[in-house]
Amino acid sequence: MGFGRQDTAPAMELLHCVNGDRASKSNTPSVPSSPLTLIEKINQKIASGEKFFSLEFFPPRTPNGAVNLIAKFDRISVGCPLFCDVTWHPAGDPGGDKETSSMTIASAAVNYCGIDTMLHISCANTVKATVTKHLMKAKSLGIRNILALRGDPPNGEEWQALDDGLAYGTDMVRHIRQEFGDCFTVCVAGYPNGHPDCPTYEEDLQHLKEKVDAGADFIITQLFFENKTFFKFLQDCQNIGITIPIIPGIMPIQGYASLRHLVKLSRLEVPQWIVDAIEPIKDDDEAIRKYGVQLGIEMARELLAHDQVPGLHFYTLNREVATKEILTALGLWCQDPAASRPLPWKPSANKKRICEDVRPIFWASRPKSYLYRTSDWDEFPNGRWGNSSSPSFGELEDHHLFYLRSRSKKDDLLKMWGEELRNIEDVFEVFKCYISGEDNRYGVKVKSLPWNEDTVAPETALIKEKLEFLNSKGILTINSQPHVNAAPSSDPLVGWGGSGGYIYQKAYLEFFTCKEVVDALLKVLKEYPQVNYHVVNCEGSVNVTNADTFSPIAVTWGVFPGKEIAQPTVVDPISFESWKDEAFDLWQQKWGKLYPEDSPSKLVIDNICKNYYLVNLVDNDFVKGNCLWETLEKTVQLREKTLKSEPAEVIQ
């Protein structure tokens, strides 16, 4: 992710295979054309014999924690989990709109991180109307999977059956089915050791059977420490007629204190052999973590070898490293960058966007912004962008939406972008260091820019030296892609859409630069009729293009066996005008605000916003190669030759 196309991950899994014998046994996604429910995905995996995994997270306590958790979702999504779930904390307004609420975190995971997400909702000491309100809100946000729980009352209250409440998990499942039908995939919890509040293990099994009969789709178990406990539970469930999928829950041991805390909450007893192994290393966190990873691998391998275990559910405690190590050792964590990309950009997991398969390239490094600005659309482009004379992009008024907020602290940003900007050349140096990966004058690596939250995309390596040169000359690049002519769709740098296809790209470059460079560029471009250009300024008083305003240009497309040609990325002149407002605003919102008003540094940024232009270039001849570098090198030469000797040409 970052410069150019981001390193994306699938929002949804494979669709129903047309022929059963073509069912994939890999984690390679295909471009979705119709929505599958979570239980349909699970059953499809079971039918194909493909094991899967899912991950659990809990809402953070602080807004900064929410920002970090969303970044974590982006990282783990490349591993291709079938789904993630978010826990419900009754004491923390879980159904509210704060960035730390369970509802908001789950919504962000679905809509902005492209992860099929399951939301826990509990009903303890809650009236039915409140539960219904939570379910309605979840539905409106695109959440379609619910883990229905009785849960614990908030703030240590005593549990009580309310007259207008839902007393148990069974009541919750029944209520969901009565009020919402099959709108939600419903999961329920199973307890291999028996629920601690239930008098007997056998009685708890009967309550689980009641939840299943009420309409539950599948079961995730509470954590356990020995596989024999789960295997007995699995057999006991089958003996009483429970036939829905049962997914074992695993919690990697990651620390002595966290283990004790979890044991206290779950009221489980740690086997003596684990206590004996941990006790000598209880003060060595790294040793305990390594022990937990190895134990997790051994448990998981034995579980996956069982025919009745379709996959694994991991309680991550919001730490992904140990879980990723276990899944990598098992071969479940997706290792193929191209395999994790159904499209060049990350799709949303919201059902209403399931058919969306075309986007403008301008938001390649700010996909969450694009999703936010188009969230009110009733329909989304499918097959082609179309002749849209007025795409209605919502205003990005709140730059502090937590899923758009920078993960870096102000001090870190100043070290990357300059504690003091002495002149415009200092800005050039920041851009150059971002591309090159070299330390800046403060000895710090520039890992992000206002338009690119992450380090440069892998494909940028193909054009890195050219970009370094341009940025050093004041052509400040913020988006690019190299030309590609029939690269395999499995290519680790530019591949997407699964294996067996071919990828094509027109060279694209987008940058800020000064008026003198633009004047020289327009002169040079007269020699290159195959290049489309679009030049705009912040105020909108300059808007120059040689493209048809109402005809988008396809800049990425893929050819796959048995399918129509996919063209998921376009350059749309009208959308570019909406993007330019955001692009210019980021100078001030992300960079300019770091400095005191009227300071020399702030004036440097102000000058760029006032006097620079935003330019995009498309080389339409993807077969011969990329002429954009030649064009811009000539532009730099012309500018350096004539800047002092000739008056600047006025853009009309």
pLDDT tens sequence across 324-341: 999 999 999 998 877 788
One domain for residues 359 and 230: no
**Torsion sign over Cα 538, 540, 542, 545:** positive
One domain for residues 284 and 367: no
Cα–Cα distance measured from residue 239 to residue 234, given in angstroms and rounded to the nearest whole number = 9
| pLDDT (0 to 100) of residue 2 | 34
Percentage of the chain beyond pLDDT 90 is: 75
Which residue segment(s) compose the domain that 209 sits in? 39-333
Residues that are catalytic: 56
| pLDDT (0 to 100) of residue 155 | 66
Residue 23 has pLDDT above 70, yes or no: no
CATH number at residue 97: 3.20.20.220
One domain for residues 185 and 70: yes
- What average pLDDT does the segment 164-175 reach? 89
Residue 12 has pLDDT above 90, yes or no: no
Residue 627 has pLDDT above 80, yes or no: yes
| pLDDT (0 to 100) of residue 35 | 79
508 with 552: CB under 8 angstroms? no
Better pLDDT: 31 or 143? 143
Residue 187 covered by a domain: yes
Summarised one tens digit per residue, pLDDT across range 182-200 is 999 999 999 999 998 899 9
One domain for residues 320 and 370: no
Cα–Cα distance measured from residue 607 to residue 160, given in angstroms and rounded to the nearest whole number = 65
Give the strand pairing for 484-488 and 502-505: antiparallel
One domain for residues 105 and 224: yes
- What average pLDDT does the segment 205-212 reach? 97
Residue 400 has pLDDT above 90, yes or no: no
DSSP annotation of 186: E
Report residue 201's pLDDT band, with 50, 70 and 90 as the boundaries: very high
Residue 520 covered by a domain: yes
Q: How many structural domains does the chain have?
A: 2
Summarised one tens digit per residue, pLDDT across range 259-313 is 887 777 778 888 999 999 999 998 999 999 999 999 999 999 999 999 999 999 9
One domain for residues 565 and 514: yes
One domain for residues 579 and 488: yes
One domain for residues 271 and 371: no
Residue 9 covered by a domain: no
Rg of the chain, C-alpha, whole Å:
27
Residue 24 covered by a domain: no
**Which of 62, 88, 60, 90 lies closest to 72, judged by CA?**
60
Residue 298 covered by a domain: yes
Mean pLDDT over the full length of the chain? 89
Residue 259 covered by a domain: yes
> Any idea of the CA torsion for 453, 455, 459, 460, to the nearest 10 degrees?
100
Residue 263 covered by a domain: yes
- What average pLDDT does the segment 462-466 reach? 88
- What average pLDDT does the segment 227-239 reach? 98
Report residue 396's pLDDT band, with 50, 70 and 90 as the boundaries: confident
Report residue 646's pLDDT band, with 50, 70 and 90 as the boundaries: low
What is the pTM for the complete model shown?
Answer: 0.87
Report residue 479's pLDDT band, with 50, 70 and 90 as the boundaries: very high
Summarised one tens digit per residue, pLDDT across range 329-374 is 999 999 887 778 899 999 999 999 988 999 999 999 999 999 999 9
